[in-house]
C-alpha cells in the first residue's frame, strides 16, 4: 500500500496508475459515494510476503496508523504508513484528507529508492513537488484537472474502497492522479464476493473481496470494522505474488 514497491534491491511491485477511461460509474469527489462516516482511528501491521511456485518468503513489516489531526487550522484525518524491508530498506507515506468526504488535502511519499513525492490538493487543482532521486533538483508541477480527484495512487488505495457501501457486484471508478505525475486517471474496482478469512489478531472475519483493475491489478480483503484492510495481494514483476496479511 505505499506508493510503489518497485526496487532493484527489494521486491519489485507497483500500484501504478490505471488507464484513463470514462464511465457512468465514475465517482465524484463529495457526492457521498465515498464517505468517512464509518471510519474510526486504528493502528495495525501486515506481514509482507513474496509467494512464488508454492513457496512463501517474508519480506518485511508494513505498519498503518489512522488518526484525527489539526493541521493549519483544519480538522483532518491523517494516515501514516511505513514499510521496513528485511534487507534494511524502508519507505513511508503520509495522507491527510477530509474526514467526511476523504477529499485529499496533502500527501507525501518517500520510496525505498529515494524518490520524494509531495502533493497538495485544492479541488481540481493539484500541486506536485517531485524529487526523482537523492541529490536531484525538486520539480514543481501545477495542474488543473478535469475534476477533483482522490489520492488513490498516493497511498489511499484500500481506504477509499473501505469507505464505500460495499456489496457483492458493486463496482465503480475512482478519479485519481498518476503516481509520480499529475495525469488524470480512473481506477476501476468491483466487489467479487464475501468470504471468511483468518485475519491475525482479529481471528476469523467475514471480508469483502474487491478487485482493482487496470494495468496493475490488486485484490483487497476489506472488513466492515477497523482496521479495514485485512489482506492485499498483487502480482510482482518477474512473476509471483506479493501478499500483505494483517498480523496486529
Written as tens digits, the pLDDT of the chain (248 aa) is: 444 443 323 433 333 333 333 446 999 999 999 999 999 999 999 999 999 988 889 989 999 999 999 999 999 999 999 998 888 889 999 999 999 999 999 999 999 999 999 999 999 999 999 999 999 999 999 999 999 999 999 999 999 999 999 999 999 999 999 999 999 999 999 999 999 999 999 999 999 999 998 767 899 999 999 999 999 999 988 889 999 999 98
User: Is 167 within the bounds of a domain?
Assistant: yes
**Rounded to whole angstroms, how far apart are CA atoms 40 and 219?**
23
User: Is 217 within the bounds of a domain?
Assistant: yes
**Rounded to whole angstroms, how far apart are CA atoms 46 and 63?**
6
Do residues 99 and 36 touch, judged by C-beta distance below 8 A? Answer: yes
pLDDT for 215: 66
Cell 514499510 sits at which residue?
83
Domains in the chain, number: 1
User: Is 66 within the bounds of a domain?
Assistant: yes
Return the SS3 of 202.
helix
- Cα end-to-end distance, the chain, whole Å: 16
Assign residue 180 a region: left if phi > 0, alpha if psi is -120 to 50, beta otherwise? alpha
Return the SS3 of 155.
coil
pLDDT for 1: 40
pLDDT for 4: 43
Cell of 29: 469527489
Number of Cβ within 10 Å of residue 135's Cβ equals 7
User: Is 54 within the bounds of a domain?
Assistant: yes
Domain containing 188 equals 42-246
Number of H helices and E strands in the chain, helices first, is 1, 14
Do residues 141 and 190 touch, judged by C-beta distance below 8 A? Answer: no
**Rounded to whole angstroms, how far apart are CA atoms 6 and 238?**
11
pLDDT for 15: 35
Handedness of CA 95, 98, 101, 106 (dihedral sign): negative
Query: Does the pTM exceed 0.85?
Result: yes
Of 88, 89, 68, residue with least CA distance to 79? 68
User: Is 20 within the bounds of a domain?
Assistant: no
User: Is 64 within the bounds of a domain?
Assistant: yes
Cell of 129: 513537488
Return the SS3 of 158.
helix
pLDDT for 54: 86
Amino acid at each position: 500500500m505505499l506508493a510503489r514497491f518497485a526496487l532493484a534491491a527489494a521486491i519489485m511491485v507497483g500500484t501504478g496508475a490505471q488507464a484513463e477511461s470514462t464511465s457512468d460509474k465514475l465517482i465524484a469527489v463529495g457526492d457521498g459515494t465515498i464517505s468517512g462516516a464509518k471510519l474510526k482511528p486504528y493502528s495495525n501491521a501486515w506481514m509482507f510476503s513474496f509467494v512464488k511456485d508454492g513457496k512463501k518468503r517474508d519480506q518485511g513489516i508494513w505498519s498503518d496508523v489512522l488518526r484525527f489531526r489539526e493541521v493549519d487550522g483544519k480538522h483532518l484525518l491523517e494516515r501514516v504508513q511505513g514499510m521496513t524491508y528485511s534487507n534494511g530498506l524502508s519507505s513511508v507515506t503520509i495522507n491527510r484528507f477530509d474526514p467526511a468526504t476523504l477529499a485529499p488535502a496533502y500527501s507525501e511519499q518517500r520510496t525505498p529508492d529515494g524518490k520524494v513525492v509531495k502533493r497538495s490538493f485544492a479541488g481540481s487543482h493539484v500541486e506536485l513537488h517531485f524529487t526523482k532521486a537523492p541529490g536531484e533538483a525538486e520539480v514543481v508541477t501545477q495542474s488543473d484537472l478535469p475534476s477533483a480527484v482522490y489520492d488513490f495512487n498516493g497511498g489511499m488505495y484500500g481506504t477509499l474502497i473501505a469507505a464505500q457501501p460495499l456489496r457483492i457486484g458493486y463496482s465503480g471508478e475512482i478519479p485519481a492522479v498518476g503516481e509520480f505525475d499529475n495525469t488524470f486517471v480512473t481506477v476501476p474496482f468491483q466487489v467479487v464476493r464475501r468470504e471468511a478469512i483468518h485475519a491475525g489478531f482479529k481471528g476469523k472475519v467475514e471480508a469483502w473481496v474487491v478487485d482493482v483493475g487496470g494495468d496493475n491489478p490488486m485484490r483487497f480483503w476489506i472488513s466492515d470494522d477497523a482496521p479495514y484492510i485485512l489482506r492485499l495481494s498483487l502480482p510482482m514483476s518477474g512473476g509471483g505474488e506479493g501478499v500483505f496479511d494483517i498480523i496486529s
